[in-house]
Amino acid sequence: MLPIQNNIGLYTDHYELTMAQGYFLSNRHLKRASFDYFFRKNPYKGSYVVFSGLSSLLEMIEAFHFSPEDCDYLLSIGFQSSFVDYLRTFRFQGNIHAVREGELVFPYEPTLRVEGTILETQLIETLLLNVLNFESLIATKASRIRLAAGDRILMEFGLRRAQGLGGVHASKAAVSGGFNSTSNVFSAYYFDLESSGTMAHSWIQSFDDELEAFRTYAKHYPDECTLLVDTYDTLKSGIPNAITVARELHQQGHELAAVRLDSGDLTYLSKKARRLLDDAGLQHVKIVASNQLDEIIIQSLLSQGAPIDIFGVGTSLAAGKEDAALDGVYKLAHFDGTPSIKVSENIAKMTLPGIKAIHRFVDQDGLFGADGISFADEPDYEFIHHPTDPHKQKEISKYTKESLIQEAMHDGKNILSKQTPAEVAQYTQKRLKQLTEEHKRFLNPHVYKVGISEKLQQNRNDLAKQYLKKDLF
């Protein structure tokens, strides 16, 4: 558990606690409730999200409690002693159903469901949104960069530019989304990731000349030596000095691993560097590129024939640029035995009531055709209906149906087998191969079809009419 473990009960918004106290004082705290987690808009103008953060969330919920210090603090800010005494022994005892970590998910799908008492399901809302929204945002960005880079090595460098301690989970999510390693040593230790790194310009500047800096570094790291070649002049100084050191290493029975470019015209410099290295018989030396990279820049570099083998990506990944947040929400869908709905004059803002399931419909080639949302106990259905346009529907009877929701936590205990971020990434890459190309392009991707069953559609419309006093359409 991360450093907040001793005070994890306070990892929430104030109003979650005021509502919890209200439920308790009204003797409503044991009524059963079900909340859905979903989002309405894909980040990065894309067509999908990589669902990430489930393992982090389950670990944190299992540890969720209120320490004596937490309780003293809550008393000091005005919470009643009877409620605080209840919290002293509080543990989450509910159930969580979710799609698999690393799954591709789409807007409006209830990708996670929390079932339990209204008090316990309310208390974990902020924690849940904080973890799932952030890790899913970063994993999605990482998957897009992986699509651009193909099978080239990807290194995450973003800790120094991340939003504080968010950088810890950013590194994990980056690997879940397809990266090979991280420069973040803490995350590598805590989440069992591969840790990697090279050198900074300050190393080279601290020596009298560049060649001495390279030689000293190679002396200490002869079998994992990557030299940063752009401190002074990449082509006139950096690469020639790297070639000198590479030859010296070879004579000693070692090989230079790579050179790194961190500024300038990366296409031009990588082509020139590759030619110089090859002419020196150093075809095995790889080229690493960094400096404000993202999926668009990487795609552009490779389309221009840049011979780059390894990409280091920092700010745009760890900070989730250009979308700093995923708009995931947590809405009550069932309360005290009755489906619940949040109504709105804007049907796109209206929630889906009841306990639901998600199905993926796959064609004969194994490619995704559409997703359907229905009541969890609903039998097979032949059509899915557009959530907001009553005139659009899709027949799905000829597709193979996959159920996406599984139980992840039972009576407050994590029941899933532990997966490493690298294993999550393997599953994500498998699912991306099943998503057709028009959904994966970066510019104006095709919208993936998500629909609701007729029974769910009718129930939503009936409830909406009851509260709005008018038909939806």
β-strand pairing of 383-385 with 368-375? unpaired
Residue 204: closest CA among 212, 195, 213, 192? 213
Instruction: Find the length of the chain.
Output: 473
Q: What's the rounded mean pLDDT across residues 202-214?
A: 98
β-strand pairing of 393-395 with 356-362? unpaired
Instruction: Output the DSSP codes for 98-132.
Output: EPPTT-EE-TT---EEEEEEHHHHHHTHHHHHHHH
Task: Tell me the C-alpha distance between 140 and 131, whole Å.
Answer: 14
pLDDT for 18:
98
Asked whether the predicted pLDDT for residue 3 surpasses 80, the reply is: no
Structure tokens at 191: 């989440």
Task: Determine which helix (DSSP H) or strand (DSSP E) holds 410, and give its type and residue range.
Answer: strand 406-410
Residues contacting residue 221 through CB under 8 Å, at least 6 positions apart: none
Q: pLDDT tens digits, residue range 314-358?
A: 999 999 999 989 999 999 999 999 999 998 878 888 999 999 999
Cβ atoms of 116 and 32 closer than 8 Å = yes
Rounded CA Rg of the chain: 26
Structure tokens at 81: 């002693």
Provide the mean pLDDT of the chain.
96
Q: pLDDT tens digits, residue range 125-181?
A: 999 999 999 999 999 999 999 999 999 999 999 999 999 989 999 999 999 999 999
**DSSP classification of residue 236:** I
- Could you check whether the bond before residue 402 is cis, i.e. omega within 30 degrees of 0? no
In this prediction the pTM is 0.96
pLDDT for 471:
72
Q: pLDDT tens digits, residue range 102-140?
A: 999 999 999 999 999 999 999 999 999 999 999 999 999
Asked whether the predicted pLDDT for residue 1 surpasses 60, the reply is: no
pLDDT for 468:
81
Q: pLDDT tens digits, residue range 419-470?
A: 999 999 999 999 999 999 999 999 999 999 999 999 999 999 999 888 887 6
Structure tokens at 321: 């640029």
Residue 126: closest CA among 341, 350, 330? 330
pLDDT for 216:
98
How many Cβ atoms sit within 10 Å of the Cβ of residue 304?
12
Q: What's the rounded mean pLDDT across residues 201-214?
A: 98
CA atoms within 13 A on the CB side of 184: 32
β-strand pairing of 181-182 with 153-156? parallel
Q: How confident is the model at residue 5 (pLDDT cuts 50, 70, 90)?
A: confident
β-strand pairing of 104-105 with 95-98? unpaired
Asked whether the predicted pLDDT for residue 248 surpasses 70, the reply is: yes
Task: Tell me the C-alpha distance between 61 and 120, whole Å.
Answer: 10
pLDDT for 473:
63
pLDDT for 470:
67
Side chain identity at 128, as an amino acid letter? Answer: L
